[in-house]
């Protein structure tokens, strides 16, 4: 038996919805437990006061990366069948800027706004309504912005492919980057805390 | 110096990452085509065998090819072209084919055979062919030809247990009326069972 289970037909569409629901519950639970249901906590990363978002997200990336690497190494997961989002570098650059600006102004990203709304926060709820309205607006305006949507198409790109490096070496490099990033983030937090005390 | 939990987890991640440098990550059996080569073969129609041609091979008793029936075993049991082996399309991956062995593939229509042909080509098997029009065309052209003027066609149809359809003019009727002849071939080969049919030795 090998993964991805859905692609190999081990379960169908309906079961995949149940699996998605269970994973969604877990995701929401840990977002909330990490304090990411609070816009204050989220936005403080932009002031470099609290880099928990960076640490949690990068930890999730590294954990998942090591997990799939070892599962593939053991032969339990066929990495070539795992869906990879194609790269549209112009569209993703513009989209990233829009999302980042929205994150700073609104205090949430889409996932955390759902977690915030679920705990009854009104700002989370209004953010979520904004997400819905924006989605409708996007769908309506799609014919006009279709060119931007597909701009900079590069197909599926992976770091080992782009850098022409062995897969395992890139994994190690990303882990080192993360650990270095955590140490750097902690140092920055301490520096900021000291500055605040001086003030 | 006592390490915090976070520091210990970080060290564990570094250790796992360092070990992952040696990870042999299987990318799965991804197949590739030579696009121009494939398109040229398709355009030259060098990928087909006509039903009449296959009928001639069978009558001549040629043994330089393997005929694979890609339908399920039930359909194979009901009728199959004489000399065909049952290799349901999902079992094609496990089928042992010699590199230069001439292989003729057929299914009911042409689609499964064409898909299997693509898979074999991508695996580097160049001597793969499909039966043009599949079993449907076999029935129409060989087993139950429409009012043939050619006595040879009648003989061929009779050889395979079929019969020409009546009516000298007009379009051929939908092919369902004639009962399929019983083929006296062995059931599909199964693991463990002794092969009842002559074994193809390849080249």
Residue of chain B whose alpha carbon sits nearest to that of A177: B14
Domain range holding A73?
1-82+170-199
Q: Spell out the residues 6+ positions from residue B159 whose beta carbon is closer than 8 angstroms to its own.
A: B55, B59
| Other beta carbons within 10 Å of B81 | 23
- Distance between CA atoms of A84 and A66, rounded to whole angstroms? 17
Give the best residue of A60, A63, A69 to mutate against chain B (max B CB count within 10 A).
Answer: A69
| Other beta carbons within 10 Å of A70 | 17
CATH of the domain at B144: 3.40.250.10
CB-based contact B77:B187 (threshold 8 Å): yes
DSSP 8-class letter at B102:
E
Chain segment B106-152, per-residue pLDDT in tens = 999 889 999 999 999 888 888 899 999 999 999 988 888 887 667 78
Q: Is residue B106 part of a domain?
A: yes
Q: Is residue A112 part of a domain?
A: no
Q: Is residue B35 part of a domain?
A: no
Domain range holding B79?
46-159
Q: Is residue A163 part of a domain?
A: no
Q: Is residue A11 part of a domain?
A: yes
Give the best residue of A171, A177, A190 to mutate against chain B (max B CB count within 10 A).
Answer: A171
Q: Is residue B3 part of a domain?
A: no
Q: Is residue A96 part of a domain?
A: no
DSSP 8-class letter at A11:
S
Q: Is residue B93 part of a domain?
A: yes
What sign for the dihedral angle of Cα A8, B131, B181, B190?
Answer: negative
Nearest to B23 among A69, A80, A178 (CB): A69
- Distance between CA atoms of B103 and B107, rounded to whole angstroms? 13
* Cβ–Cβ gap A169/B18 under 8 Å: no
B73: buried, middle or exposed (CB in 10 Å: 19+, 13-18, 0-12)? middle
| pTM beyond cutoff 0.80 | no
- Chain A residues whose CB is inside 8 A of the B30 CB are 80
Q: Is residue B196 part of a domain?
A: no
- Distance between CA atoms of B140 and B143, rounded to whole angstroms? 6
Q: Is residue A101 part of a domain?
A: no
Q: Is residue B71 part of a domain?
A: yes
Q: Is residue A146 part of a domain?
A: no
Counted domains in chain A: 1
Counted domains in chain B: 1
Pairing between strand B102-106 and B128-131?
parallel
- Distance between CA atoms of B128 and B104, rounded to whole angstroms? 6
Tens-binned pLDDT, residue by residue, of chain A (199 aa): 577 777 777 888 889 899 999 999 999 999 999 899 898 999 898 888 999 999 999 999 999 999 999 999 988 888 888 888 899 999 999 999 999 999 999 899 999 999 999 999 999 999 999 999 999 999 999 999 999 999 998 888 989 889 999 999 999 999 999 999 999 999 999 998 888 887 7
Written as one string, the DSSP assignment of B116-167 is HHHHHHHTT--SEEEETTHHHHHIIIIIS-BS-S-HHHHHHHHHTT---BS-
Q: Is residue A123 part of a domain?
A: no
Q: Is residue A140 part of a domain?
A: no
Q: Is residue B10 part of a domain?
A: no
């Amino acid at each position: 038996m090998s993964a991805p289970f859905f692609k190999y037909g081990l379960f169908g569409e309906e079961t995949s919805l149940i699996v998605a629901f269970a994973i969604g519950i877990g995701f929401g639970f840990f977002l909330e437990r990490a304090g990411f249901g609070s816009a204050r906590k989220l936005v403080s990363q932009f002031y470099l006061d609290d880099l928990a978002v960076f640490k949690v997200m990068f930890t999730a990336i590294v954990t998942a990366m090591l997990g799939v690497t070892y599962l593939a190494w053991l032969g339990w997961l066929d990495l070539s069948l795992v869906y990879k989002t194609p790269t549209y570098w112009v569209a993703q650059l513009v989209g990233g800027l829009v999302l980042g600006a929205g994150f700073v102004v609104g205090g949430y990203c889409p996932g955390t706004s759902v977690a915030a709304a679920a705990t009854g926060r009104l700002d989370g709820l209004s953010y979520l309504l904004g997400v819905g309205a924006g989605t409708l607006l996007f769908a309506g305006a799609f014919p006009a912005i279709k060119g931007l949507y597909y701009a900079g198409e590069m197909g599926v790109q992976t770091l080992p492919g782009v850098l022409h490096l062995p897969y395992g070496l890139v994994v190690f490099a990303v882990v080192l980057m993360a650990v270095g990033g955590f140490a750097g983030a902690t140092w920055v937090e301490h520096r900021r805390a000291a500055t605040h005390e001086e003030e | 110096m006592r390490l915090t939990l976070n520091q210990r987890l970080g060290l564990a991640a570094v250790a796992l990452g360092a070990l992952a440098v040696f990870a042999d990550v299987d990318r799965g059996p991804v197949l590739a085509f030579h696009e121009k080569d494939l398109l040229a073969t398709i355009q030259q129609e060098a990928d087909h065998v006509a039903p009449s041609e296959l009928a001639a091979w069978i009558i001549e008793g040629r043994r330089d090819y393997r005929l694979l029936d890609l339908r399920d075993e039930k359909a194979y049991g009901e009728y199959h072209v004489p000399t065909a082996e049952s290799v349901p399309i999902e079992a094609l991956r496990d089928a042992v084919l010699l590199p230069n062995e001439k292989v003729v593939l057929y299914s009911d229509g042409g689609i499964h055979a064409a898909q299997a042909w693509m898979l074999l080509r991508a695996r580097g098997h160049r001597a793969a062919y499909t039966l043009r029009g599949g079993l449907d065309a076999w029935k129409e052209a060989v087993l139950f030809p429409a009012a043939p003027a050619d006595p040879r066609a009648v003989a061929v149809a009779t050889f395979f247990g079929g019969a020409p359809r009546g009516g000298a003019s007009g379009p051929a009727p939908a092919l369902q009326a004639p009962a399929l002849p019983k083929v006296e071939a062995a059931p599909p080969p199964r693991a463990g069972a002794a092969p009842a049919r002559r074994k193809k030795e390849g080249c």
